[in-house]
Amino acid sequence: MTHSSTFAGYTDADGHSWPKLSADGEYEPGVQDFCSRCGLNGNQAMGRKCADTIAPAALVQTEFEYQWLRFEEFARGTFEADLKRARAKAMEYGSHDLEIMAVSMEALLPAGELDPQSRHATAIEMSIAFYLMGKVARMFGAFKKGTTPGDDSWRDGLIYSLMGRYVRQNGRWIG
Protein backbone atom coordinates (compact mmCIF):
# COMPACT_ATOMS: atom_id res chain seq x y z
CA MET A 1 0.00 0.00 0.00
CA THR A 2 1.26 3.50 -0.77
CA HIS A 3 0.20 6.96 0.27
CA SER A 4 0.57 10.45 -1.13
CA SER A 5 -1.11 12.51 1.58
CA THR A 6 2.00 14.56 2.35
CA PHE A 7 2.29 16.14 -1.11
CA ALA A 8 0.89 19.56 -1.89
CA GLY A 9 -1.81 19.76 -4.48
CA TYR A 10 -5.09 21.38 -5.35
CA THR A 11 -8.72 20.32 -5.48
CA ASP A 12 -10.60 20.38 -8.79
CA ALA A 13 -14.27 21.32 -9.31
CA ASP A 14 -15.31 17.72 -8.57
CA GLY A 15 -13.58 17.86 -5.18
CA HIS A 16 -10.82 15.49 -6.27
CA SER A 17 -7.31 16.25 -4.97
CA TRP A 18 -4.51 16.45 -7.53
CA PRO A 19 -0.79 16.94 -7.05
CA LYS A 20 1.06 19.98 -8.27
CA LEU A 21 3.25 18.59 -11.02
CA SER A 22 5.23 21.55 -12.32
CA ALA A 23 7.65 23.97 -10.70
CA ASP A 24 5.12 26.81 -10.87
CA GLY A 25 2.46 24.69 -9.17
CA GLU A 26 0.30 24.14 -12.25
CA TYR A 27 -0.72 20.83 -13.74
CA GLU A 28 1.26 19.86 -16.82
CA PRO A 29 -1.22 18.66 -19.46
CA GLY A 30 -0.45 15.30 -20.97
CA VAL A 31 1.56 14.04 -18.01
CA GLN A 32 0.26 10.70 -16.82
CA ASP A 33 -0.72 10.58 -13.15
CA PHE A 34 -0.35 7.43 -11.15
CA CYS A 35 -2.95 6.38 -8.58
CA SER A 36 -1.05 5.53 -5.44
CA ARG A 37 -3.78 3.18 -4.27
CA CYS A 38 -4.94 1.18 -7.28
CA GLY A 39 -1.90 1.56 -9.52
CA LEU A 40 -3.89 2.79 -12.54
CA ASN A 41 -2.63 5.56 -14.77
CA GLY A 42 -4.84 8.44 -15.78
CA ASN A 43 -4.74 11.93 -17.16
CA GLN A 44 -6.44 14.71 -15.27
CA ALA A 45 -6.78 16.98 -18.30
CA MET A 46 -8.73 14.30 -20.17
CA GLY A 47 -11.04 13.69 -17.21
CA ARG A 48 -9.88 10.13 -16.61
CA LYS A 49 -9.17 9.54 -12.96
CA CYS A 50 -9.33 6.93 -10.29
CA ALA A 51 -11.64 7.34 -7.33
CA ASP A 52 -8.64 7.15 -5.00
CA THR A 53 -5.84 9.61 -4.36
CA ILE A 54 -3.77 10.39 -7.46
CA ALA A 55 -0.07 11.16 -7.34
CA PRO A 56 2.69 11.27 -9.94
CA ALA A 57 4.58 7.96 -9.98
CA ALA A 58 7.77 9.67 -8.80
CA LEU A 59 6.04 10.87 -5.63
CA VAL A 60 4.47 7.61 -4.56
CA GLN A 61 5.59 6.60 -1.09
CA THR A 62 6.08 3.11 0.21
CA GLU A 63 4.19 2.04 3.31
CA PHE A 64 7.42 2.28 5.31
CA GLU A 65 8.06 5.86 4.12
CA TYR A 66 4.50 6.82 5.01
CA GLN A 67 4.77 5.27 8.47
CA TRP A 68 8.19 6.80 9.02
CA LEU A 69 6.84 10.29 8.26
CA ARG A 70 4.04 9.72 10.79
CA PHE A 71 6.64 8.56 13.32
CA GLU A 72 8.81 11.65 12.69
CA GLU A 73 5.78 13.87 13.25
CA PHE A 74 5.00 12.07 16.50
CA ALA A 75 8.63 12.08 17.66
CA ARG A 76 9.14 15.80 17.03
CA GLY A 77 5.98 16.77 18.89
CA THR A 78 6.69 14.37 21.73
CA PHE A 79 10.30 15.50 21.99
CA GLU A 80 9.35 19.16 22.26
CA ALA A 81 6.98 18.42 25.15
CA ASP A 82 9.46 16.10 26.86
CA LEU A 83 12.28 18.61 26.51
CA LYS A 84 10.24 21.17 28.47
CA ARG A 85 9.62 18.60 31.19
CA ALA A 86 13.31 17.66 31.27
CA ARG A 87 14.26 21.30 31.80
CA ALA A 88 11.92 21.60 34.75
CA LYS A 89 13.28 18.38 36.27
CA ALA A 90 16.91 19.46 35.73
CA MET A 91 16.19 22.74 37.52
CA GLU A 92 14.39 20.94 40.34
CA TYR A 93 16.96 18.19 40.95
CA GLY A 94 20.26 19.55 39.66
CA SER A 95 23.16 17.11 39.62
CA HIS A 96 23.84 16.55 43.31
CA ASP A 97 22.26 13.10 43.47
CA LEU A 98 24.21 12.04 40.40
CA GLU A 99 27.45 13.19 42.01
CA ILE A 100 26.66 11.24 45.19
CA MET A 101 25.72 8.14 43.21
CA ALA A 102 28.82 8.49 41.01
CA VAL A 103 31.05 7.89 44.05
CA SER A 104 29.49 4.43 44.44
CA MET A 105 29.60 3.74 40.73
CA GLU A 106 33.30 4.62 40.45
CA ALA A 107 34.01 1.72 42.82
CA LEU A 108 32.63 -0.64 40.15
CA LEU A 109 35.09 0.54 37.49
CA PRO A 110 38.39 -1.30 36.96
CA ALA A 111 41.40 0.48 38.40
CA GLY A 112 43.73 2.36 36.08
CA GLU A 113 41.59 2.11 32.95
CA LEU A 114 40.55 5.79 32.80
CA ASP A 115 42.01 9.14 33.79
CA PRO A 116 40.27 10.68 36.84
CA GLN A 117 38.06 13.05 34.82
CA SER A 118 36.92 10.33 32.39
CA ARG A 119 36.42 7.95 35.31
CA HIS A 120 34.11 10.41 37.06
CA ALA A 121 32.15 11.16 33.86
CA THR A 122 31.70 7.41 33.28
CA ALA A 123 30.49 7.03 36.86
CA ILE A 124 27.89 9.77 36.31
CA GLU A 125 26.78 8.02 33.14
CA MET A 126 26.51 4.78 35.12
CA SER A 127 24.39 6.57 37.73
CA ILE A 128 21.99 7.69 35.02
CA ALA A 129 21.87 4.11 33.71
CA PHE A 130 21.08 2.93 37.25
CA TYR A 131 18.16 5.36 37.47
CA LEU A 132 16.97 4.21 34.05
CA MET A 133 17.15 0.60 35.20
CA GLY A 134 15.01 1.51 38.22
CA LYS A 135 12.43 3.13 35.94
CA VAL A 136 12.33 0.03 33.71
CA ALA A 137 11.96 -2.22 36.79
CA ARG A 138 8.94 -0.17 37.90
CA MET A 139 7.45 -0.51 34.42
CA PHE A 140 7.77 -4.30 34.60
CA GLY A 141 6.22 -4.18 38.07
CA ALA A 142 3.19 -2.45 36.57
CA PHE A 143 2.97 -5.07 33.80
CA LYS A 144 3.18 -7.86 36.40
CA LYS A 145 0.24 -6.31 38.27
CA GLY A 146 -1.76 -6.37 35.04
CA THR A 147 -1.60 -2.63 34.47
CA THR A 148 0.36 -0.52 32.05
CA PRO A 149 3.05 1.89 33.17
CA GLY A 150 2.23 5.56 33.13
CA ASP A 151 3.34 7.77 30.27
CA ASP A 152 5.82 9.43 32.64
CA SER A 153 7.81 6.19 32.77
CA TRP A 154 8.33 6.19 29.01
CA ARG A 155 9.01 9.91 29.07
CA ASP A 156 11.63 9.50 31.78
CA GLY A 157 13.31 6.80 29.73
CA LEU A 158 13.86 9.30 26.93
CA ILE A 159 15.09 11.93 29.36
CA TYR A 160 17.58 9.54 30.99
CA SER A 161 18.82 8.53 27.55
CA LEU A 162 19.42 12.16 26.61
CA MET A 163 21.11 12.83 29.94
CA GLY A 164 23.47 9.88 29.51
CA ARG A 165 24.37 10.90 25.99
CA TYR A 166 24.96 14.49 27.13
CA VAL A 167 27.26 13.34 29.92
CA ARG A 168 29.18 11.09 27.50
CA GLN A 169 29.79 14.04 25.20
CA ASN A 170 30.38 16.74 27.83
CA GLY A 171 31.80 14.86 30.81
CA ARG A 172 29.22 16.15 33.26
CA TRP A 173 25.53 16.84 33.81
CA ILE A 174 24.13 20.36 34.17
CA GLY A 175 23.16 21.92 37.46
Q: What is the pLDDT of residues 7-49, one digit of tens each?
A: 445 555 555 555 545 555 555 555 555 544 444 455 554 445 5
Any idea where the domains of the chain sit in the sequence?
A: 9-59, 75-170
Classify the phi-psi angles of 104: left when phi > 0, otherwise alpha if psi is within -120 to 50, otherwise beta: alpha
Taking Cα atoms as reference points, which of 116, 131, 109, 125 lies closest to residue 165?
Answer: 125
54-55 and 33-35 strand pairing: antiparallel
In whole angstroms, how far apart are CA 117 and each of 120, 128, 168?
A: 5, 17, 12
84 and 66 Cβ atoms separated by less than 8 Å: no
pLDDT digits over 110-130, tens only?
988 789 999 999 999 999 999
Grouping H, G, I as helix, E, B as strand and the rest as coil, residue 11 is: strand
